[in-house]
Amino acid sequence: MPTPSLTFRGESMRRIYLDHAAAMPVDPRVLEFAERYLQRDFGNPSSLYSVGLEAKRAIEDARKKVAELINAEKETCIVFTSGATESNNLAIKGTALRNIGKGKKVAASAIEHMSVLNPLKELQKRGFELTNIPVDSTGIVDTEKLNDILTKDTTVTSIMYANNEIGTIEPIKEISEIVHENGLYLHVDATAAAGRIPIDVQNEGIDLLTLSSNDIYGPQGAGALYIKPGVRLQSILPGGGQERGLRSGTENVFAIAGMGEAARIAKAEMVQECKRLKGIRDDLIVEMLKIDESYLTGHPTQRLPHHASFRFSRIEGESILLNMDMMYNIQVSTGSACTSRTLEPSHVLLAIGLKHEEAHGSMVITLGRSNAFEEIPIITKAVKETVQRLRELSPL
C-alpha cells in the first residue's frame, strides 16, 4: 500500500510517521498470515467441531510464539487479553486480590503508564497502601529507595521495562533481586520494549509481564500477560472460563493469531532492526541537539533503540505536534497518547525533575520499520523550522 501524501503549497509531501509508541501499522506478513481467521477459519475456539478446533490450534500456536519471544518456561504461562491495559489490570489487581492474605501493600515507579497507576489507585480504595518509587533525572528507578520501601507485606511491585515517553530502559534484573528479597511479586509492563530489545523473563526474574499486540506490529485488540509458574491470580473478568479461567470471553482469534506471528517476526529480526533504528535515532539526536535550548530527555545511552525524546524551551509540545502534522505531514508525539488529551504536563517528565513549563515543551519521536536514513534531513529541517516559527510567535 503506497504511503498517503498531501499537497502543501503546491508540492506533494510524503507522510513520515514517527509515533510508533502510540500505534503501529499491522505488518503485511502478519495480515496475510492471520486474515484467514476473519472469514474461513472463523470458528469459536471452545467449539469441538473442526472449525472450532482449527481456531483453537491457531491460539495455541500463537501462545507458543509469544512465549518464545520472552523465553517463558512454557506456552501455558501466556494468557491472552484484549491489550496492554487489560493485562496490566489483571496482573496488578488479580495478583493483589488473590494474595491479600500475604499483605495489602503495593508499589510502582513514579513513571509508570496510567494503565498501571490507575489500577493501583483503585486498590487504594479497597484498603491497600500504595507507594510511588522515585526515579533519577534520567528515569532510572532509585534502587536504594526501592530497597527501603518494600516490605514482606508488599504483594505487587510494578516497574516498566522501558518508558514509553522518555525511552529509558530500567535495570530489571537488579530490581527483581531487590523485590524478591524484600517483597513478593514483580510485575513488568514491557509494552514499549517487547520486540525492540531482548527480554528473558527467566533470567531477569520476572513474575508477571505485560505485552501488546499492536506494539509489535500485530493487530489491535490483543495483548498478553506472562504469568510465572506458581504465581496465583484472581480473575477480574469472570465468565465462561477461557484462558485458564483468568480472562473469560470468546477469544479474538484473528488478533491473537496475528500477535503470535508478529512475535515470531520480531524475534527473528530484532537484532538487525535494532541496529538499523539505533543508527537513525542517534543521527536524529545529534541534529536535534544543535537547536538552541534543546535537551534530550531520558537516559543518554540506556534507552530504547527506536526512541528519541526532547524538550524545547519557550514553546508548547502540542504546538510542535500540530505544526509538524499540518505543515510537513510528519507525525510526532508530545508524550503518551493515553494522557495527551489533557493540558496537564506529563507526570513522567515531572517525576524526572522538570518544572511545569519545561515539561510542556516536549517532543517524542519513535521510529519504526517504515522509517529510513534518507528521512533524517527532512525531519530535522522540519523540526528546526517548527521550533523557530513557534518561538517567534511565543509570548515567552
Alpha helices in the chain (DSSP H): 28-34, 36-39, 50-70, 84-89, 95-98, 114-125, 143-149, 172-182, 201-204, 253-288, 317-328, 347-351, 356-359, 376-393
C-alpha cell belonging to residue 13: 509531501
C-alpha cell belonging to residue 215: 506494539
Largest CA-CA distance found in the chain, in angstroms, rounded = 69
Task: Report the Cα–Cα distance between both ends of the chain, in Å, rounded.
Answer: 43
Q: Which of 6, 286, 326, 338 is catalytic?
A: 338
Q: What's the one-letter identity of residue 280?
A: I
Q: Catalytic site residue 274? A: no
**How far apart are alpha carbons 93 and 353 in whole angstroms?**
29
Q: Which CA distances in Å does 43 have to 38, 62, 78, 363? A: 9, 16, 21, 44
Quickly count: other Cβ atoms within 10 Å of residue 381's Cβ: 12
Strand duo 78-81 + 223-227: pairing: antiparallel
348's CB contacts (< 8 A; 6+ apart) are: 111, 139, 163, 165, 166, 335, 336
Residue with cell 480473575: 235
Q: Give the burial class of 229: count Cβ atoms within 10 A of its Cβ; 0-12 exposed, 13-18 middle, 19 or more buried.
A: exposed
Q: Which residues carry out catalysis? A: 338
